[in-house]
Amino acid sequence: MCLAIPARVVELCDGDEAIVDLDGVRKRISLAMVEDVALGDYVIVHVGFALQKLDVEEAEATLALFRDIAAQQAGDAAAQPS
């Protein structure tokens, strides 16, 4: 199974690289497979490569789902007997 996540471009670097932010985690990625990426754009990232641009509404909805899943799992873990 593969997981690709939306991340916001916060810095454009030399060549085909950028820095993206995902909830405070920043990572340098390659933009070699995606055209016309600008600051503030969301891209789908998989193993350090942007695969495509994503509109803001879709990116934010997807990230909200990930946050909900994480919160639910944290609640489930806290409810487990030690």
C-alpha–C-alpha distance, residues 31 and 71, integer Å: 31
Domain boundaries, the chain: 5-79
Q: pLDDT confidence of 56, banded at 50, 70, 90? A: very high
pTM: 0.83
Query: What is the Cα 56 distance to its own chain's centre?
Result: 12
Residue 34 in this model has a pLDDT that exceeds 60: yes
The CA–CA distances, whole Å, from 71 to 39, 61, 66 equal 29, 15, 9
- In 3D space, the residue among 4, 6, 3 whose CA is nearest the CA of residue 60 turns out to be 6
Predicted pLDDT of residue 6? 94
5-79 is classed CATH 2.30.30.140? yes
Q: Cα dihedral sign for 24, 45, 52, 33? A: positive
